[in-house]
Amino acid sequence: MRQKIGVDSALTDDGLHARRAVVPAATDPTEDSGRRQFLRRGTMLAGGALAGGMGLARAAPLDVPESNKGFGKPIAENDYGMPSKFESKVKRRRTDILKNRQNFSDWSMTPLQDQLGTVTPNGLIYERHHNGTPDIDPATHKLVIHGMVRQPLEFSMADLMRYPSVSKFYFMECSGNGLTDWLKPASTTVQQTHGLLSAGQWTGIPVAWLLDEAGLEPGASWALFEGGDGSGHVRSLPMKKLLDDCLLVYALNGEMLRPENGYPLRLFVPGWEGNVSVKWLRRIKVGDKPWHTRGETARYTDPMPDGKWRQFSFEMECKSVVTRPSGGMTITPGMQEIQGFAWSGNGKIKAVDVTLDGGKNWQGAVLEGPVMDMSLTRFRYRWDWKGGPATIASRAVDSTGYVQPTVQDIQKSRAIVGFVQHHNGVFPWSVNANGEVKNAIA
């Protein structure tokens, strides 16, 4: 499943070469000439606005801004930096579409329209809890490993943090991402349609080390992971994946986890649905078969047309979405850089295509490196919008050769009416003649 470094990755490890290598022939390939074009066009637009379209207009005379003319804010003795007050609209939000009547087993979503790189800031990582956020003191938190092991063990946080650590970039996506928007538009923004997606650099220790320390007994093939929250959230996971790449994580993006993301300790299962990465982890019990808990039977299973339910559907399959422009935005004629994210729980992103005509024709987008396994990959495509109606969407291909399907492709094998998870369908945005961008799923 994993791809060794090869032609693709060798090209894309270097962002500049990657751009030149993969850029579609129809568009201007170089950053510099693109920027010049953009600047030229920007000047012309500004001129148009000021001088009624009569050639280039001059900018207004400049005043020296107040920020140049006095003290700035002094450096605080102690402080945790916050975003500018002018960015206060950038917030996690609950969905507007599916309102739970309580806020404990609920979710909030990442503002992907405002995420400008492949790392989600810690305060904007999406939330999904089953009974709110507990307030856990790391000085008293314990992790226990027992069941089919030779020696049951207990670890304090200080114990766990004495091990050498590893740091890895991975995306995390909730299985329910997109569930309000399968067949007709409900959500307005990409935050609402795709915001149960975040990414960052996770730091911790391989699960395999501690299982090895406890000593797996013959036949140990599954393990139960249990949270220390009010829901005691539990999931069974197969030993093969646990030993392959799962981490016990205590930090994200260079600092200890935020409480809502599992402080002080969580499991992280790369590429798999978010709810298996059990937060506030307190216990690992090793066994020889899955437990079939409520969360892996009555929830987090997928309805099939014959009335059956698909179970243990862990991998988050290859997916992409255009984040700019996206629902709720308004664009103006001229150069638009179509931007978005692509990701796959089964490997690396190999290519992303963009359509401007609702899926009739597609063009290759530029991938921005580094392109990493089970991580967010950013893509870009320069579009000269002439002002007519358009329907834009992206379609990703991963290193297994899997092509992101449309909802209609998915509908051939699954039941997708109702509360249905694992929506990785191609997601279109329509642009009308006024430049208004709207959800166009259908």
Partner 1 sequence: MRSLKVVSILTGLLAIAACATQETQQPVARPDVKFGKPIAAADLAPWNIDVRTPDGVGLPAGRGTVAEGKTVYEAKCTVCHGVDAKGGPVYGTMVGGIGSFKTNTRVLTPGSMYPYAPILFDYINRAMPMDKPQSLSANEVYAVSAYILNLNGLIPDSAVMDQNSLVKVQMPNRDGFIIDDRPDTQAVRCMTNCK
Q: Under rule CB under 8 A, which residues in 380-439 are in contact with partner 1? A: 395, 397, 402-406, 409-410, 412-415, 417-418
- Nearest residue to 370 via CA among 349, 347, 400: 349
Stretch that binds partner 1, among 29-37, 53-61, 311-319, 432-440 (CB under 8 A): 311-319
Binding mask 45-84 for partner 1 (x = CB under 8 A): ----------------------------------------
Binding mask 265-284 for partner 1 (x = CB under 8 A): -----------------xx-
CB nearer partner 1, residue 48 or residue 370: 370
Site size for partner 1, by CB under 8 A?
94
- CB-based burial, 172-191: b 16+ in 10 Å, e otherwise: bbbbbbbbbbbeebbbbbbb
Instruction: For residue 166, state whether it binds partner 1 (rule: CB under 8 A).
Output: yes
User: Mapping DSSP to helix (H, G, I), strand (E, B) and coil, where does residue 378 land?
Assistant: strand
Shortest separation between residue 85's beta carbon and partner 1, angstroms: 36
CB nearer partner 1, residue 189 or residue 250: 250
176-205: which residues touch partner 1 (CB under 8 A)? none
Instruction: For residue 104, state whether it binds partner 1 (rule: CB under 8 A).
Output: yes
CB nearer partner 1, residue 188 or residue 313: 313
Which DSSP letter does residue 149 get? Answer: B
112-131: which residues touch partner 1 (CB under 8 A)? 130-131
Terminal CA-to-CA distance of the chain, rounded, Å?
32
Contacts of 401 (CB under 8 A, 6+ apart): 350
Q: What are phi and psi of 37, to 5 degrees?
A: -60, -45
Pairing of strands 222-227, 234-238: antiparallel
356-385: which residues touch partner 1 (CB under 8 A)? 359-363, 370-373
Q: Please identify which residue in 188, 231, 243, 435 interacts with partner 1, judged by CB under 8 A.
A: 231
Q: Please identify which residue in 209, 256, 329, 331 interacts with partner 1, judged by CB under 8 A.
A: 209
* Bridge partner list, 324: 339
* Residues 235 and 224: beta-carbon distance below 8 Å: yes
- What is d(CA 164, CA 380) in angstroms, rounded to the nearest whole number? 37
Instruction: For residue 36, state whether it binds partner 1 (rule: CB under 8 A).
Output: no
Q: Please identify which residue in 96, 159, 255, 337 interacts with partner 1, judged by CB under 8 A.
A: 159
Instruction: For residue 244, state whether it binds partner 1 (rule: CB under 8 A).
Output: no
Phi and psi based region of residue 336 (left: phi greater than 0; alpha: psi -120 to 50; beta: remaining): beta
- Nearest residue to 194 via CA among 262, 253, 126: 126
Instruction: For residue 235, state whether it binds partner 1 (rule: CB under 8 A).
Output: no
Which DSSP letter does residue 421 get? Answer: -
